């Protein structure tokens, strides 16, 4: 499938979502149920399931790095007042994990990663039990997370089960289509050129699901340190593989990637910025990129255009 045609299909899907979701925005919703989601990706799933039957609060907005996020007093108030809290889990939210454990004694606090079989997760440190938290970059895995959100909401609010189930079925079908489209579009890149280099290792699941080699300067968390050797090793890799484009991330400082580009230039190898990818946060509210489908679609378009 041509990437332009695929994007038109996905934009049409987004327009349909906009037309049917008038009361899905965070402000002005007077419903009695208040659901808090830590990230935009989770909030978008919840919106597609509950429609206008609940008020939805997103804790971390566009451009926010969840690895480094610290809850403010205002956030604590939102967390206390929410009826249900959905968070990613797998330590994506960093130090907030301890707060969620405490809140579980008072209300329903649900990790969406619990809906995914452990065997499907990327184990990064067996001794410490650390898994890669960036599960949304494999659409089929994020579908499992979405199904877990729906199942949890149906148990908590059985009177809304019919609505939630119907909405969920519609959204899961969209995700199935998206997954297949990403597979087809990534295949437009010649196999030798399928190398995705970013600031931190957020695209591991993406690489596994869509058969593209992934390298990140930092580890799975932006809290990880990187040094001159890390930069030097990545520069050597880029030159050896004759890679022509690397990528920034909207939620991560561009300092690390600029250091890699500078190192390549000093060695006489020209490498360009292929675009700025959405990694740990989606795009601006009320834009196509501000939806999960739009986030993935935008990333794929940039990756294919830069690498093929």
Same domain, 176 and 34: yes
Residue 135 has pLDDT above 80, yes or no: yes
- b/e burial code for range 279-292 (CB count within 10 A of at least 16 → b): bbbbbeeeebbbbb
State whether 98 and 46 are in the same domain: yes
Same domain (yes/no): 49, 179: yes
Answer yes or no: do 224 and 147 share one domain. Answer: no
Is there a single domain that holds both residue 200 and residue 159?
A: no
- Work out the average pLDDT over 6-23: 45
Instruction: Write down which residue in 153, 184, 215 finishes a domain.
Output: 184
Give CA torsion, residues 115, 121, 124, 126, to 10 deg: 80
Provide the CATH number for the domain around residue 12. 3.40.50.1980
Q: Which residues contact 82 (CB under 8 A, 6 or more apart)?
A: 34, 35, 36, 57, 107
- Shared domain for 213 and 290, answered yes or no, is yes
Q: For residue 21, what pLDDT is reported?
A: 39
Percent of the chain topping pLDDT 90: 76
Q: What is the mean pLDDT of the chain?
A: 89
Cα torsion through 69, 18, 116, 194, rounded to 10 = -80
pLDDT of 8 above 50: no
pLDDT in the model for residue 261: 92
Q: 216 pLDDT band (50/70/90 cuts)?
A: confident
- Show the tokens assigned to 302: 């940039």
Taking the C-alpha atoms of residue 150 and residue 287, their distance in angstroms, rounded to an integer, is 24
Task: Give residue-wise pLDDT tens across range 65-97.
Answer: 898 899 999 999 999 999 999 999 999 998 898
| Percentage of the chain lying above the pLDDT 70 cut | 87
| Residue ranges making up the domain that contains 270 | 190-307
Which long-range CB contacts under 8 A does 22-29 form with residues at least 24 apart?
22/52, 23/51, 23/52, 24/51, 24/52, 24/56, 25/285, 25/286, 26/55, 26/56, 26/57, 26/58, 29/54, 29/55, 29/56
What is the pLDDT confidence band of residue 30, given thresholds at 50, 70 and 90?
A: very low
For residue 184, pLDDT over 70 is answered with: yes
CA gap 32, 269 in Å, rounded: 59
For residue 252, the model assigns a pLDDT of 81
d(CA 200, CA 279): 9
Domain count, the chain: 2
Select the more confidently predicted residue: 10 or 277.
Answer: 277
Q: Are residues 176 and 235 in the same domain?
A: no
Q: Is the pLDDT of residue 10 over 80?
A: no
Q: Determine which of 13-17, 159-163, 261-265 has the lowest per-residue pLDDT on average.
A: 13-17
Which residue bears the tokens 């990706």?
Answer: 41
Task: Point out the domain boundary residue: 169, 184, 199.
Answer: 184
**Domain end call among 167, 184, 201:** 184
Q: Is the pLDDT of residue 13 over 60?
A: no
Task: Read off the pLDDT of each residue in 95-119 and give the average, rounded to a whole number.
Answer: 95
Residue 19's pLDDT band, with cuts at 50, 70 and 90, is very low
State whether 13 and 149 are in the same domain: yes
Residue 157 has pLDDT above 80, yes or no: yes
Same domain, 62 and 144: yes
- Which CA distances in Å does 28 have to 17, 56, 68, 80, 164? 18, 10, 30, 20, 21
């Amino acid at each position: 499938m041509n990437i332009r045609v695929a994007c038109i299909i996905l934009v049409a899907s987004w327009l349909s979502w906009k037309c049917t979701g008038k009361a899905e925005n965070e402000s002005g919703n007077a419903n009695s149920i208040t659901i808090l989601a830590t990230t935009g990706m989770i909030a978008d799933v919840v919106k597609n399931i509950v429609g206008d039957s609940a008020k939805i609060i997103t804790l971390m907005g566009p451009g926010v790095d969840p690895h480094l996020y610290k809850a403010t007093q205002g956030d604590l108030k939102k967390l206390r007042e929410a009826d249900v809290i959905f968070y990613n889990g797998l330590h994506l939210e960093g130090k907030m994990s301890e707060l969620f454990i405490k809140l579980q004694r008072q209300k329903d606090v649900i990790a969406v990663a619990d809906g995914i079989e452990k065997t499907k997760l990327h184990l990064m440190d067996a001794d410490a039990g650390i898994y890669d938290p960036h599960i949304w970059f494999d659409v089929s895995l994020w579908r499992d997370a979405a199904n877990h959100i729906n199942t949890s909401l149906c148990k908590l609010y059985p009177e809304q089960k019919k609505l939630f189930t119907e909405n969920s079925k519609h959204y899961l079908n969209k995700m199935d289509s998206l997954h297949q489209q990403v597979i087809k579009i990534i295949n437009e890149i010649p196999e030798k050129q399928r190398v995705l280099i970013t600031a931190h290792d957020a695209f591991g699941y993406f690489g596994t699901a869509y058969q593209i080699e992934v390298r990140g300067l930092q580890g799975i968390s932006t809290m990880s340190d990187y040094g001159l050797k890390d930069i030097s090793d990545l520069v050597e890799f880029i030159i050896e593989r004759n890679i022509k484009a690397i990528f920034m991330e909207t939620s991560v400082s561009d300092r690390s990637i600029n250091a890699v580009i500078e190192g390549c230039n000093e060695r006489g190898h020209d490498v360009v910025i292929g675009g700025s990818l959405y990694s740990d946060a989606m795009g601006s509210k009320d834009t196509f990129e501000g939806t999960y489908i739009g986030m993935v679609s935008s990333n794929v378009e940039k990756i294919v255009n830069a690498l093929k």
